[in-house]
Amino acid sequence: MSSTIYRPGQTVPRSGIYNVADVSGTYMGRQVTGEAGRTFEPTRHGTREYGYMLFRETTHMGA
């Protein structure tokens, strides 16, 4: 698992499953799937969600 926290709007560096984290990198109980080259979605408003940390890299099989 990566310790880098990616922010909403940044480019997804590697396809994979990302944990939603707070500013200190604590898992917030939600995961998203990111596809390399796309951008990270906005976090939920009104929560402590800050960004995304790579949990597991996956292979993207484009259609």
Assign 40 a pLDDT band (cuts: 50, 70, 90).
Answer: very high
Assign 59 a pLDDT band (cuts: 50, 70, 90).
Answer: confident
Number of structural domains (the chain) is 1
Close Cβ partners of 15 (under 8 Å, ≥ 6 residues apart):
34, 35, 36, 57, 58, 59, 60
Give the residue carrying structure tokens 């906005």: 42
Assign 34 a pLDDT band (cuts: 50, 70, 90).
Answer: very high
Query: N- to C-terminal Cα distance for the chain?
Result: 27
pLDDT of residue 45: 85
pLDDT at 62 over 80: no
pTM, whole model, 2 decimals? 0.88
Query: In terms of residue numbers, what domain contains 63?
Result: 1-63
